[in-house]
Copies of this chain bind each other. A is one copy, B any other.
Amino acid sequence: MIYRMKSGNPIDTEAVVNTEDIEQITELEFIDKLGSFGGSYYTDKPDISEGRFALELSYRMNEKTAFFGLGESMRGINKRGYKYISENTDEPRQVEDKYSLYGAHNFLVVKDEEEFGLFIDYPGRVEFDLGFETRDLMTVRIPTKDVYIYLISGKDLAQITKQFRHIIGMSYIPPLWGFGYGQSRFGYKTADDIREVVNKYRSAGIPLDMVYMDIDYMQDYKDFTINRTRFPNFEDFVEEMKEQGVRLIPIMDAAIAHDDRMKIFEEGRNKGYFCTNESSGIFEAGVWPGWTAYPDFLRPEVRTWFGELYRDFTDCGIEGFWNDMNEPALFYTESNYKETLAAFEELASKNSDPTPGELLELAGRINGWNGHDQYAHFFHVVDGKKIRHDRVHNLYGYNMLRATSEGLENQLSGARPLLFGRSSYIGAHRYAGIWTGDNCSWWSHLLLNIRQMPGLNMCGFLFSGADTGGFGAEVTEDLLLRWTAFSIFTPLFRNHSTCDVRKQECYRFGDIKAFREIIALRYRLIPYLYSEFLKAAHNDECYLRALAFDYEDDDDAVETEDQLLLGEGLMLAPVYMQNTEGRHVYLPERMLMIRFNTASEYETAVYEAGHHYIKIGLEQVVIFLRESHILPLASPQVCTADMKHYIEYGHKGELEADDFEIIAFPDPADGPKQYYEYKMWCENADREPVENKIVRE
């Protein structure tokens, strides 16, 4: 059951789209409902200018209370024991004490004797203190009364989450080829750089479906431009790559360069499409191309305009994009700059040289640019009313994704685009996936990647993944192998790194065979993974989820922070520690361990429920299959182009077990033949789900 309480005069974030099952309740009724779960609700005189919180929700925990959700955030699967602040942030330092990342996903489920879900639909700053200040006290702090709060009751984590997912609408589904493997780097400067990547992947026999283009392809880092010196015949190049089964996926940033000679800027300015500053001029801030203007994505006409700008690329044959810098990132703003300039002038005009302390202070001021205080100094127009950015901050990336998605919908004649972004809010999952931003080549970030997946799935971001191998810092071969062995299970599967670190393409390392086989296994799994993805999307379920979802009464399962369930049948237990040839695994039930030595050669063993230590070599992939399930494996491919027959089979009739190599549990060697049926989902040409049966006797 879902209850919605409207407090004050909230703006419609369009996070929720299916309202038929929601019961509207008053503030008093909300207090009553929340109280039945043991929570309290306070209102106070709001004073946002003083940062005083207008609303506070509290909940007293017991020893076993756990929290699941909050989408993209730091720390564990169980969010208890820290503070999370929804305030979308360009955060290149994802360390344990960061409160905010790129997304604001204000949904959580309180797992307790009586469970409930909570969704705070407010696109400004919201604080979730889940036992941070006081270990057994949850406090949610909201700086305004203008908010919708949803309270969701249900029998368990899965059911509460499913109700939530239903009201926020169906998740974005990528095209099948979006499940292919992609190589990326900030630093592919020319078409030849990309050709080299493709050639080396192909000659190493490592499958590859796309190469991502970072801002290097642009002219002076300006959106919707192409550097024609480095990419002389872009249209031909797109075609050339496609002939090799490789799609090019360009990046697009949120802000438009202030360049009076550019038509786009001119048009945006003339039409008043950019966010405004306090004196109603264009709000300008600096990012990659220098001074830029920020499209007011909250307005439908701006979204339409911006979405249409992609046509230059889709006309070239581009079918996928990634959106970046849309928190929005602000390297500096006019007021940052002016304040610093004044401080600089003051120092410069002194009679004496600035002291080291004064220089350090100046640097501190400059280092503090990109501060969140700037959010209160620019404006949007929402439903004809001027709204200060900080009150709708978390909607910015969401609406950029929406603009892009709606533009591509027109331009691609209904074909699904590949699309994901960095910043998001609840609702953005309908338009695109997200990646987890600028992580590092750290083992702890592989673990973070694992732990972020359940929360993201709960909030609808089924199409997600991390920069495999890590974006910043220097990767080592073993880390990249272990990370790749996990990422073959995340829908978004991309190796990405920044410009000043070691080159990170798989073929650069010693054990090319191991990379080839692990990534080939991904391709063998794609029909299964895509089918499970479609089911999760259409059924409002989680493709990847915490063990707590399926084994809620099992304390050991609930506290498992390093294993995931995938779809109907699989459990993952990735290795995320260096120099270990195995790991402890908790099996909540009897399962079949499958150890892939290569993409085609594997061994299996049945493990009873309980705690085990499982050997997992650096070149191996180990997964666990639940009882009475089968795992169908397609034949190996080097890109998804030849794979469609597995997926589009729905058009022609039932799939045959013979189309796949099938691993069944229990293993046939263990006893008499058994009958297994797997419902494989695919889509027909109209994007309708089609259910096939794979039957194995």
Interface residues of A in 92-150 (CB under 8 A from B): 95-97, 131-132, 134-136
Segment among A72-80, A380-388, A460-468 that sits at the interface with chain B: A72-80
CB-CB under 8 A from A360, the residues of chain B are: 331-332, 366, 369
With CB as the reference atom, state the residue of chain B lying closest to A579. Answer: B78
Residue from the set A509, A584, A610 with the largest chain B CB neighbour count within 10 Å: A584
Question: Does the CB pair A561–B579 fall under 8 Å?
Answer: yes
A655 at the interface (CB under 8 A from B): no
Which listed segment binds B: A180-188, A427-435, A471-479, A620-628? A471-479
Q: Which residues of B contact A75 (CB under 8 A)?
A: 578
Question: Does residue A308 face the partner (Cβ distance < 8 Å to B)?
Answer: no
Check A581 against B555 for contact (C-beta < 8 Å). yes
Question: Given that A96-B442, A613-B584 are known contacts, is A332 also in contact with B356, CB under 8 Å in the complex?
Answer: yes
| In the complex, A440 has a CB within 8 A of chain B | yes
Quick check: is A695 within 8 A (CB to CB) of the other chain?
no
Set of chain B residues within 8 Å of A582, measured between Cβ atoms: 556, 559
Residues of B within 8 A of A97 (CB): 440-442, 472-474
Could you tell me if B66 and A579 are in contact, using CB atoms closer than 8 angstroms?
yes
Known: A136-B510, A441-B97. A290 touches B357 (CB 8 A): yes
Inter-subunit contact B611/A476 (CB<8 Å): no
Say yes or no for A337: interface residue by CB 8 A criterion. yes
Establish whether residues A511 and B476, one from each chain, have CB atoms under 8 Å apart when the complex forms: no
Q: A366-410: which have CB < 8 Å to B?
A: 366-367, 369
A76 near B442: Cβ-Cβ < 8 Å? no
Residues of B within 8 A of A474 (CB): 83, 97, 132
Distance, CA A586 to CA B95, complexed state (A): 29
> Which stretch (A191-199, A211-219, A340-348) binds chain B?
A340-348
Closest chain B residue, CB of each to CB of A445: B96
A510 & B134 in contact (Cβ 8 Å cutoff): yes
- Kindly identify which residue among B344, B478, B613 contacts A586, using a CB–CB cutoff of 8 Å: B613
**Chain B residues within 8 Å of A131, by CB:** 476, 478
A26 interfacial contact with B, CB 8 Å: no
- Return chain B residues, CB-CB under 8 Å to A356: 286, 290, 331-332, 337
- Which B residues are CB-close (under 8 A) to A22? none
B357 touches A366 (CB 8 A): no
Query: CB distance B578 to A81 under 8 Å?
Result: yes
Identify which of B134, B357, B444 contacts A444 (C-beta below 8 A): B444
On whether the beta carbons of B76 and A579 are closer than 8 Å, the reply is yes
A76-B579, A356-B286 are contacts. A132–B348 as well, Cβ < 8 Å? no
Q: CA separation between A476 and B135, bound complex, in Å?
A: 8
Cα-based distance from A559 to B575 in the complex (angstroms)? 13
- Asked if A412 lies at the interface with its beta carbon under 8 angstroms from chain B, I say no
With A81-B578, A561-B577, A584-B584 in contact, is A132–B366 under 8 Å at CB? Answer: no
User: Is B95 touching A95 in the complex (CB atoms < 8 A)?
Assistant: yes
Give the distance in Å from the alpha carbon of A612 to the alpha carbon of B586 in the complex: 11
Question: How many of these chains are in the complex?
Answer: 2
Q: Is A493 an interface residue (CB 8 A)?
A: no
Which residues of A from 547 to 586 have beta carbons under 8 Å from B?
555-556, 559, 561, 577-582, 584, 586
Cβ of A350 to closest chain B Cβ, rounded Å: 10
A283 sits at the interface (CB 8 A)? no
Least Cβ–Cβ distance between A369 and chain B, in angstroms = 8
Contact B135 A96 (CB under 8 A): no
Indicate whether A363 reaches chain B with its CB closer than 8 angstroms. Answer: yes
Q: Does A362 contact B (CB under 8 A)?
A: yes
User: In the complex, what residue of chain B is closest to A291 when comparing beta carbons?
Assistant: B356
| Per-residue interface assignment for chain A, residues 456 to 498, with 1 indicating a CB less than 8 Å from any chain B CB and 0 otherwise | 0000000000000000111011110000000000000000000
Asked if A354 is an interface residue, CB under 8 A from chain B, the answer is yes
Q: Least Cβ distance of A398 to chain B in Å?
A: 28
Contact with B along A573-616 (1 / 0, CB 8 A): 00001111110101000000000000000000000001111000
In the A-B complex, list the 4 residue pairs whose CB atoms are closest, starting with the nearest: A584-B584, A363-B366, A348-B348, A97-B473
* Further contacts, 17 of them, CB under 8 A, given A96-B442, A97-B473: A66-B579, A78-B578, A78-B579, A80-B578, A80-B579, A82-B578, A95-B440, A95-B473, A96-B473, A136-B510, A341-B354, A344-B347, A344-B348, A362-B363, A559-B581, A611-B611, A611-B612
Can you list 13 contacts pairing A with B, beta carbon distance less than 8 Å? A83-B474, A96-B440, A96-B441, A131-B478, A286-B356, A337-B356, A344-B354, A344-B359, A347-B348, A348-B348, A555-B581, A559-B579, A610-B613
A residues sitting closer than 8 Å to B (CB atoms) are 66, 75-76, 78, 80-83, 95-97, 131-132, 134-136, 286, 290, 331-332, 337, 340-341, 344, 347-348, 353-354, 356-357, 359-360, 362-363, 366-367, 369, 440-444, 472-474, 476-479, 509-511, 555-556, 559, 561, 577-582, 584, 586, 610-613
